[in-house]
Structure 1
């Protein structure tokens, strides 16, 4: 399993939920007079004459009140005051407050996919033994948030603590009557459902004196009521199990594609910024996200996705008489040549270029998949090879009317054709060459990744294919004015262009061919490794691209004197050259806009999207389980 998470631009938020906690606080203070002890009785002194009755002990009181947003609580909360009822009016007056703590509301959640519950705010009150905090014992009041969600205020979760201490025991008097126990103050915290008091639910905190002494805060004893409310949840999604093969998508909805056939979910037609859409492949058929007019999905951040290139082009380097170009598998290394000029190489996808070798009548160039091994032809000259990405070159074989060359992915097998001559093959990176087949007007050749399957075209002749690295050849199709040919990595899918005619595609290694598109001056063709994404340059016209194995084609860029075109292995980076013009590069960063674009995933693949405006959906996260991965078109 490959699992990834995309960060910025959007964070995934946990939804907040406050657990119910009921806490009753019963505090009895001891007497503070010269006579009897309040609450906790002192040890009797030696009997003497009857004294005056001891005065009643002081009650410990607490008061809860709403705290407005400010320095203590950013979004408001509850203020809890505590102290002794010095004036015995059963109310905690301002002068009697000895400690103050705050229980603050949670912050609002931010947008995210299916957020978790928020953190609960908790209050605990435990007995404090006599010691440095309370000389005569008392209570420790702590507050904090329930970070681990166990509904218990653990030690590590406490954010502040204060102490409510017992009064100092009065000195023993002469056998006086024991003072009456003070009235305890009680507090209760219960869950508050979503409503007028808390929009997203929360806690209701009540307090008051236990006037009837039953240890329960009865309704008639409540003197103050306050609320701690949950923050607003993030948008999240609700999930729908889909067994149909198509459905119109709704905002903030997740779809479980549960069918043996592919389930197509169309993006919401009128989404709002921040809206979410999620897909999970449950059934064996996986899923497909279809687009409405003007919509597209930014797919560059999805590893392995094949967003098509060709939508926009950037001019590179200077105006020269460019005549051909080749690319490494990842599109990072490029090599192009100038007719009767030098070879130029780039290691940054065409941004910058370095001149190599010397001025020659270069006629074709090819590259290994990693871009380290290059081979170039000179018309009426020799073959030149480089094993260091074009820095140094070695002349090979003899002077011939070389016209085209192709390479296996490792650069070990090379195949070159001679105009009105033979085909030549090499199995040692160009050191030695063997003549193959017969003299023909060879014009272009293509190799499979392993160099075993070959296809070559003859001007005003036929297409020829070989399945044994060029030892034997078979004539295919009809005599046409063939100009160029390209192959998928496995050699099964071929595409060839006729100058002044149509483009032809084959899915059976050249046995059968189907005419595509219209009559044009097709001049150069490139193919992705799987053969699904094609790019063809038309001389004195536009570049045409196809994302469906050549079935349909779309015109790209402007009319130029295009002479060569190259593609990365996944088809999402293209580079083309113009005669007496510049080099142009195109990178696919999103799906084809509108109804022609889509993105697909297999069984157990997941994808989460968020609408960010201008018709664009941004991937938030994805998980790839299937062998095919998530693909963009």
Structure 2
């Protein structure tokens, strides 16, 4: 059918409501073909009563079934992670001008974009679909995708989803469309004013009476509006009381010297938001209702750890963890090697009376490699129950393992780097003799990074066959690698934490100078924990760009991390081992909260399932307080 090209986007504050459903069900009944879409953002849709047609649109008497379309809100779930709209279409088999569930033959999901990630609008475009394999009698194709180049036009290269709304079979009067009239849609920007206070989109529909493929003004039989909601900073409420129940889509100024508690909206809909700004010296606290929590992974202080001490005590110099942190191993410089198979709840002494210098683990925790300073390399393939050694006698300083335990690497002080491709059965000397102190490996063993005491970092991208000097000469202490080897970390004794995001080609200092010791990262390189001697453990949730203290002080020496970065094992010299669980959200229900101080601000958006997600913040203090 002839059809104009349609493209539209929704502003950030547009929300799909029941009004949209009723409007599209009545006003957008399509004849020989149909199309439409839902918004990408949070918007309000309504049809002013005065704009509704006084009588139903003319019935189609061409002998074809009418195609109807409707749009429903889609809750947060498998189809749309952050919710969105479900566009349904089908033939009006019973000719009652209502699309029943049994008549739906086409469904398309148009999902809300992830809040705060890319800021891109989602565009929807409809185009005619000729008779063919997709629609035997022709119809319409509805296309959707993100406006990657921000030109407000959905180009073919930007389309990520599509659906077809097909016309009915030929009627008794002859070929399809011979005497029927197409129904057209026209979209246009609606300026701010009486109809849409903050502007929006005007949607008009009607039958193409003159068959020119254009919806002329005289052919319009129904008009609906998609109106943008009020901008986030439009409605502000100054709060001086000690507590207040908040409303959705409202900003609050906490203006008290004794603190203000603001309770989240009790029954929000997906896309609703609140914002709070600390004006008074007392600061603010956002409290929760039953069943609610706030995702804190993007907030300073929101990924802090809850720590618990586990036995035993020792002069710990090395830790290793399985991917899920169920299997743990620890070595002491004065003789002990312990393992745990219950996430640190209990420990078993394995190999005493050795001067251990490092330990590494496969991802399942069953294959272990431990090094003795001035002794041999010890291997276990059963989680530490039994051990063998290679009979060497070197000043081993550090070891690392691939995820499957087949590729191993070990460094010797004033010696060489040694690699194994068969799980430690045989070893090959690599590189030159240097003051090697630390080594780390990617999951496949291809990317390796090794640090020297007073020299440069050295990187290999061919399983240790060749090495290239990188960064500056430093007293490198410890190194860590993401699973794919693209993100590498290195700590300096009385220096900074250095980071590379290109597999070790370039490096940059990303922290203040401290007596840094061990460092560990999640598999994706995002979450990092580093130890300091005489200070605290420090954590970063943004690939080392910012750091904050996450423990008490002490002679921290070693850390190990689970693959997801949520579980961390840390050790002090002369003290017990600590198990830390990273927070990813506030405590569920009324016990959970987030607090900020004067000049701190936070904006939260509801994403469904009782979860609010931060979409913006300004922080004058070091971190938010999360409970």
**What is the aligned counterpart of 1:347 among 336, 341, 348?**
341
CA pair 248-508 structure 1, distance change in 2 beyond 3 A: farther
Which secondary structure does the structure 2 equivalent of 1:461 belong to? coil
Cα drift, residue 300 of structure 1: 13
Task: Verify: 1:484 aligned to 2:489, yes or no.
Answer: no
- List aligned pairs for 1:405-444, cutoff 5 A: 405-444=399-438
Q: Which residue of 2 aligns with 1:534?
A: 528
The answer to whether the 8 A contact 2:291-2:610 is kept is no
Q: Which residue of 1 aligns with 2:610?
A: 609
Which secondary structure does the structure 2 equivalent of 1:275 belong to? coil
2:382 and 2:438 map into 1 onto residues whose CA distance is 25
1:496 and 1:475 map into 2 onto residues whose CA distance is 14
1:411 and 1:588 map into 2 onto residues whose CA distance is 27
Cα drift, residue 272 of structure 1: 3.1
Which secondary structure does the structure 2 equivalent of 1:478 belong to? coil
Q: Deviations over 1:565-602 (max 9, x none)?
A: 1111111111111111110111023448557999999x
Task: Verify: 1:394 aligned to 2:388, yes or no.
Answer: yes
Which secondary structure does the structure 2 equivalent of 1:360 belong to? coil
1:609 and 1:270 map into 2 onto residues whose CA distance is 19
1:368 and 1:306 map into 2 onto residues whose CA distance is 30
**What is the aligned counterpart of 1:452 among 421, 446, 451?**
446
1:368 and 1:300 map into 2 onto residues whose CA distance is 38
Which secondary structure does the structure 1 equivalent of 2:350 belong to? strand
C-alpha RMSD of the superposition: 4.3
Q: Which residue of 2 aligns with 1:221?
A: none
Bigger RCO (CA 8 Å, 6+ sep): 1
Q: Which residue of 2 aligns with 1:461?
A: 455
Which secondary structure does the structure 2 equivalent of 1:479 belong to? coil
The answer to whether the 8 A contact 1:306-1:572 is kept is no
The answer to whether the 8 A contact 1:299-1:589 is kept is no
Cα drift, residue 357 of structure 1: 2.4
Which secondary structure does the structure 2 equivalent of 1:331 belong to? coil
Paired residues, number: 363
1:473 and 1:589 map into 2 onto residues whose CA distance is 38
The answer to whether the 8 A contact 1:342-1:357 is kept is yes
The answer to whether the 8 A contact 1:421-1:440 is kept is yes
2:236 and 2:325 map into 1 onto residues whose CA distance is 35
CA pair 288-252 structure 1, distance change in 2 beyond 3 A: closer
2:482 and 2:602 map into 1 onto residues whose CA distance is 22
Q: Deviations over 1:140-183 (max 9, x none)?
A: xxxxxxxxxxxxxxxxxxxxxxxxxxxxxxxxxxxxxxxxxxxx
Q: Deviations over 1:597-625 (max 9, x none)?
A: 99999xxx953327xxxxxx799xxxxxx
Cα drift, residue 354 of structure 1: 1.2
The answer to whether the 8 A contact 1:516-1:550 is kept is yes
- List aligned pairs for 1:47-446, cutoff 5 A: 270-272=261-263, 275-279=266-270, 294-295=285-286, 310-396=304-390, 398-446=392-440
Cα drift, residue 562 of structure 1: 1.1
CA pair 609-373 structure 1, distance change in 2 beyond 3 A: same
1:442 and 1:598 map into 2 onto residues whose CA distance is 46
1:555 and 1:475 map into 2 onto residues whose CA distance is 31
Q: Which residue of 2 aligns with 1:162?
A: none
CA pair 302-591 structure 1, distance change in 2 beyond 3 A: closer
CA pair 384-273 structure 1, distance change in 2 beyond 3 A: same
- List aligned pairs for 1:482-561, cutoff 5 A: 482-561=476-555
- Which structure's CA Rg is the greater one? 1
Q: Which residue of 2 aligns with 1:97?
A: none
Which secondary structure does the structure 2 equivalent of 1:492 belong to? coil
Cα drift, residue 559 of structure 1: 1.5
Which secondary structure does the structure 2 equivalent of 1:491 belong to? coil
The answer to whether the 8 A contact 2:496-2:509 is kept is yes
1:299 and 1:406 map into 2 onto residues whose CA distance is 43
1:538 and 1:344 map into 2 onto residues whose CA distance is 23
Task: Verify: 1:576 aligned to 2:577, yes or no.
Answer: no
Cα drift, residue 363 of structure 1: 0.7
The answer to whether the 8 A contact 2:340-2:347 is kept is yes
The answer to whether the 8 A contact 2:263-2:287 is kept is no
Q: Which residue of 2 aligns with 1:63?
A: none
Which secondary structure does the structure 2 equivalent of 1:583 belong to? strand
The answer to whether the 8 A contact 1:254-1:279 is kept is no
Cα drift, residue 319 of structure 1: 2.5
Give the TM-score, by structure 1 length.
0.51
1:299 and 1:550 map into 2 onto residues whose CA distance is 33
Q: Deviations over 1:115-142 (max 9, x none)?
A: xxxxxxxxxxxxxxxxxxxxxxxxxxxx
CA pair 362-300 structure 1, distance change in 2 beyond 3 A: farther
1:531 and 1:444 map into 2 onto residues whose CA distance is 18
The answer to whether the 8 A contact 2:297-2:585 is kept is no
Which secondary structure does the structure 2 equivalent of 1:509 belong to? coil
Give the TM-score, by structure 2 length.
0.51
Q: Which residue of 1 aligns with 2:3?
A: none
CA pair 400-489 structure 1, distance change in 2 beyond 3 A: same
1:357 and 1:391 map into 2 onto residues whose CA distance is 10
The answer to whether the 8 A contact 1:520-1:538 is kept is yes
